[in-house]
Amino acid sequence: MTKKKALITGITGQDGAYLSKLLLDKGYQVYGLLARRSSPTIWRLEYLKVLDKVTLLEGDLTDIASISRALLASEPDEVYNLGAQSFVATSWEQPLLTAGATGLGALHILEALRQVRPQARFYQASTSEMFGKIQEPMQSEKTPFYPRSPYGVSKLFAHWMTINYRESFNIFGCSGILFNHESPLRGIEFVTRKVTDAVARIKLGAQDKLALGNIDAKRDWGFSGDYVEAMWLMLQQDAPDDFVVATGRTTTVRDMCRIAFDHVGLDYEKYVVIDPRFYRPAEVEVLLGNPAKAKAKLGWEARTSLEDLMRMMVDADLARVKRELRP
């Protein structure tokens, strides 16, 4: 039996690493698009022990020719576009870069697919940031979008382009509107990892305080390892569609901090300080996803609670920081 093949952009990111492991466990041959950068980016694949099992192809989302070459080389049955400039705060500092990689990058893949590999199934990583200034208390696939950052706007462009290519060119394109999802592989610039890394360093005496911005913002946080399964399930359906992927529970940054600090026996109020530098120009105050459609049509639901997720991340950061502090 011929192995299914998948091409993943953003393979070195959190979701790319977890998705690689999932697909490899399912017997796929996995290829990843790797943009050459000066800093090392493959540590997540090493962490999950899958680096030697995937094939990395050089390419960049801003270069459609390299995407076409990667499609010709890998001949994928499924393409997962997880690549992006994905840090919301950076998108105000670098809006053009964000629009190019996050927005136009998806269009480059869709156009390359149309020309080179139209039979492949395509997954677009959409985001709850597209809801932004929420128009409904709980956001579903039918909730109007109101993005509040260059990142959210760029993702919305990619989201609608996926729908457009689905309806115009019969591309099997699905968008997963994923709410915040975290793991020990999350980048240190994201608030959950910033918190769990600080908890570990404070517990081990390597840090005194944790500076944050709006700790009353609410988010729907899940585990990346759960969410990549929803991505795969979308591309196994008879017809393409879009799905909200979320836990259905929203929690403040303040309570997330409390959970993380409680795990090591510390009171968060003694260590968290508010720094106005970390406030966003336009804040998204609340995000809460309605995953009912994903449960009904995909049979998917989040398995990992926020409490278990925070404990997992704190424990991983404790182990990392201990290694760093070793003489």
Question: Tens of pLDDT along 241-273?
Answer: 999 999 999 999 999 999 999 999 999 999 999
pLDDT at residue 38 in the model:
45
**Residue 95 burial (C-beta neighbours within 10 Å; 0-12, 13-18, 19+):** middle
* Residue 8 in this model has a pLDDT that exceeds 60: yes
Q: What is the reported pLDDT for 174?
A: 98
Q: What percent of the chain has pLDDT over 70?
A: 95
Please list the residue range(s) of the chain that carry CATH number 3.40.50.720. 5-181+221-245
Q: 186: Cβ–Cβ under 8 A, 6 or more apart, which residues?
A: 14, 192, 193, 224, 313
How does residue 85 score in pLDDT terms, banded at 50, 70 and 90? Answer: confident
How long a stretch of residues is the chain? 327
When the pLDDT of each residue in the chain is averaged and rounded to a whole number, the result is 94
> 187-219+249-287+305-325 in CATH: which number?
3.90.25.10
Instruction: Tell me which residue of 169, 172, 188, 190 sits closest to 180, measured CA to CA.
Output: 190
Cα distances (Å, whole numbers) of residue 320 to 43, 127, 160? 13, 29, 40
In the predicted model, is pLDDT for residue 78 greater than 60?
A: yes
Is the Cβ–Cβ distance between 80 and 71 less than 8 Å?
no
Q: How confident is the model at residue 87 (pLDDT cuts 50, 70, 90)?
A: low
pLDDT of the residue at 29: 98
Q: How many whole angstroms separate alpha carbon 114 and alpha carbon 184?
A: 36
- Give strand pairing partners of 55: 31
More confident: 92 or 286: 286
* Of 207 and 99, more confident: 207
Q: Which helix (H) or strand (E) holds 263?
A: helix 253-263
pLDDT the model gives residue 280: 65
Give the amino acid at 158.
Answer: A
Q: How far is CA 168 from CA 111, 117, 183, in A?
A: 12, 16, 37
Strand partners, 319: none
Residues designated as active site: 127, 129, 151
What are the helix (H) ranges across the chain? 14-25, 43-47, 64-74, 88-93, 95-98, 105-116, 150-169, 191-203, 224-234, 253-263, 292-293, 306-325
pLDDT given for residue 97 in this prediction? 81
**pLDDT on residue 4:** 98
Considering the segment(s) 5-181+221-245 as one domain, its CATH architecture is 3-Layer(aba) Sandwich (3.40)
Within the chain, all domains assigned CATH 3.90.25.10 are found at 187-219+249-287+305-325
Is residue 31 within 8 Å of residue 9, measured between CB atoms? no
Instruction: Say how far apart CA 24 and CA 2 lie, in whole Å.
Output: 14
Give dist(CA 38, CA 263) in Å, integer. Answer: 36
Element (H, E) at 264: none
d(CA 226, CA 306) in angstroms, rounded, equals: 12
**80-102: average pLDDT:** 80
Q: Could you give phi then psi for residue 126, rounded to 5 degrees?
A: -85, 180
Whole-number percent of the chain with pLDDT over 90 = 86
What's the Cα-to-Cα distance from 128 to each of 153, 156, 233, 296, rounded to whole Å? 11, 10, 19, 20
The conformation of residue 237, written as its DSSP 8-state character, comes to: S
Band (218; pLDDT cuts 50, 70, 90): very high
Which residues, 6 or more positions from 25, have their beta carbon under 8 angstroms from its beta carbon? none
- Cα gap 203→182, rounded to integer Å: 21
Report the DSSP beta bridge partners of residue 218: 252, 286
Confidence of residue 89 (pLDDT cuts 50, 70, 90): low
